[in-house]
Amino acid sequence: MTGLRKTEAKEGAIVRFLQSLSRTGNVGLSCRAAGLARKHVGGLLLADSDFADAYAQAMEDAQDLLYAEARRRAVTGILIGAGGQAKSNNGGRVRKYSDPLLMMLMRQSGPVATRAAAGKPEADDLGAILRSIVRDEDPSVMQYPS
């Protein structure tokens, strides 16, 4: 393989790595998907500022995907059927929401982060926080117990 082909192949592997990293946020899986050694990636992070910037952006993209999935599970929920298995249709199944995910998301931004930063004790009261958030929402859409 000539030097130019090696460079093109290496660049292709780097692109595959960054694409995988932006989807998974997992360096090891992304290295395997691209056929790169983890050491090589570490060397690139130290030696190539453009790669380091692209790496940081890929990690932000992966974090955004993770945040969106956590929000979906917290707000939209998932359908649970017999045996606790998640299902894709509603044939007699129950929608479950994740209060711990919702609380984590709220701690990172919005009213909880603001209250916690202000040292207000109700920052950990999920019910009070939810009631304050949905106060202006359509009650037929968002129903939370008092």
Digit-by-digit pLDDT tens for the chain (146 residues) are 555 565 677 899 999 999 999 999 999 999 999 999 999 999 999 999 999 999 999 999 998 888 888 888 888 888 887 665 655 555 667 888 877 777 777 777 655 555 566 665 555 565 665 555 555 444 444 444 44
CA distances to 96, 104, 105, 113, 118 from 71, rounded to whole Å, are 13, 10, 7, 16, 24
Cβ contact 30:17 at 8 Å: yes
Prediction pTM value: 0.60
The DSSP symbol for 88 reads S
User: Beta-carbon neighbour count of residue 37 at 10 Å?
Assistant: 11
